[in-house]
Amino acid sequence: MRFPTTAALCLGTVSVLVLTACSNDSTRATDPTSSASVSGRQEGRNTPAAGPLSSAGLAKRLLDEGDLGEGYARKAELPGRHADVKVTGCPALEELDADTAAGGSLGFPRRAKVSFTYASGIGSEVSEELYSGTAAELSSGVGRIFEAMTSCSSYRVLAGSTAVTVTAHEVPAPRLGDEQWGQLLTFTAGGRSQVVKQTAVRVGMVVAVVSGSPALVDAHVEEAVAKARVTT
């Protein structure tokens, strides 16, 4: 079966990073307040939105090169869908409704995305996706996907004639925002492997998902969440 729309939160962002690289050769917690480690500049700028943000509104809250610092370059978005991508060996993923292949987006109409490479390093990439919806919709959708992704220690992704073995497990996520999810995935194909970390944080009616090289995700997730929550 194809990757489900909702599963594209992980299987979209992550597979775009990893399947592209291959072809070229949560812990969940609830915390109603922000972590003490979050910059004090957020204080006074966390007024709840009246409703879900538009895609244009989300785009204004994405990280940019100025936020990341020197050595980062924005990546062009890869084209559309991959209708021939399938997942096998993980019943939790196979049971989800399918209509969008990997490379799509989470099934919320309000979304924005950006990706960067760092210092032209192979595998040194970081991607951010923002989604907006009601708190209940986001909590249920994101939680369901992270749970499904880590319910199987190993499964296979078939992208055309390419078979990719994926191993996944939950990892602690920084206690930011209202809810947090974290996972570490290893993709192996053709004798080569790539590790991708993914952290998702919900702040009210916005979810920020940061994926890519583990070190880069750790370096920028806090700033991504801070920018996602800022009201202007």
User: pTM of the full predicted structure?
Assistant: 0.77
Q: pLDDT by residue (tens digit) across 182-230?
A: 999 888 888 888 899 999 999 999 999 999 999 999 999 999 999 998 7
Neighbouring-strand partners of residue 23: none
Q: pLDDT by residue (tens digit) across 46-105?
A: 444 568 899 999 999 999 999 998 899 998 876 555 456 678 888 887 766 433 223 334
Spatial CA neighbour of 82 closest among 164, 145, 147:
164
Task: For residue 146, give Cα distances in angstroms to 91, 170, 183.
Answer: 14, 8, 8
